[in-house]
Amino acid sequence: MHFNFHVSGGLEEIDAFWEERGLDRSKERLLFAGYSRNGHPHTVYLNWARSHDECCDVYLGIEARRPSRVWPGRVLKAHRLRESDLREFLKFIRQKDVPWGIHARYIYPSPGPAIPARPPSNTRLRSLSFEVLEEERTAAILTFGRQGEQWFMIVEPTTRFPFPKGNNFFREPFETGCALSPPASTEQTP
């Protein structure tokens, strides 16, 4: 699961929030942590960047891969994200202006797209996207992408959801991710 959202005028306050927790402002705006779920390695990460003026775009993700695969070459000690700090950050952001809500993307392992015609032999298919329509309106973008020999299915709903009011930021997007999950990947969480 990948999320991004825009915080109006929030860059300085977000930098100050993390500076209070020991992140040097001259360092990369990236924090992550590894954990295990059902015996499988996972990574949660938080990244933020100036979008324009004093505004900020925040990227939050959960990946079913170990941190060294998600953020190669980065030392966990220098970028450690503590659970208590993430909870405090989400509470802090809830008080800010997040004008357009949260955009989510869900990525699942896939055998690849079913292609009715083979492409020419001198081409290599790297990605293929479809618009999923609902009453003539795009409801989601479905993309099959490849990294090496591994195929992934990326589902991006076009509607954004509001910043959750309660303490469980991940409940609604997780339930949505489970509902969108193809039958073959229901045993692995997004």
Q: Give the CA distances from residue 34 to residues 22, 69, 84, in Å, rounded to whole numbers and listed in that order.
A: 19, 11, 14
What's the CA dihedral at 101, 137, 154, 90 to 10 degrees?
A: 10
Looking at the fold, whether 132 and 41 belong to one and the same domain comes out as: no
pLDDT tens digits, one per residue of 12-69: 999 999 999 999 888 899 999 999 988 999 999 999 999 988 999 999 999 989 999 9
Among the three residues 60, 75, 102, which one is the final residue of a domain in this structure?
102
Looking at the fold, whether 74 and 135 belong to one and the same domain comes out as: no
Collapsing DSSP to helix, strand or coil, 158 comes out as coil
pLDDT tens digits, one per residue of 117-160: 777 888 878 888 889 898 889 989 999 998 888 889 999 999 89
Among the three residues 102, 129, 164, which one is the final residue of a domain in this structure?
102
Domain count, the chain: 2
Looking at the fold, whether 120 and 188 belong to one and the same domain comes out as: yes
d(CA 73, CA 68): 7
Say if pTM beats, i.e. exceeds, 0.85.
no
Please report which confidence band the pLDDT of residue 183 belongs to, taking 50, 70 and 90 as the band edges. Answer: low
Looking at the fold, whether 39 and 95 belong to one and the same domain comes out as: yes
Give the DSSP H/E element, type plus range, for residue 156.
strand 150-157
- 76 neighbors 67 (Cβ within 8 angstroms): yes
Looking at the fold, whether 126 and 153 belong to one and the same domain comes out as: yes
Looking at the fold, whether 11 and 83 belong to one and the same domain comes out as: yes
Contacts of 169 (CB under 8 A, 6+ apart): 90
Closest CA to 173 of 184, 152, 159, 183: 159
Q: Give the CA distances from residue 139 to residues 4, 21, 112, 155, 159, in Å, rounded to whole numbers and listed in that order.
A: 18, 39, 21, 10, 7
Looking at the fold, whether 1 and 88 belong to one and the same domain comes out as: yes
Chain CA centroid to CA 146, Å: 17
Looking at the fold, whether 98 and 110 belong to one and the same domain comes out as: no
Among the three residues 59, 77, 102, which one is the final residue of a domain in this structure?
102
Q: What residue numbers bound the domain in which 54 lies? A: 1-102
Looking at the fold, whether 115 and 177 belong to one and the same domain comes out as: yes
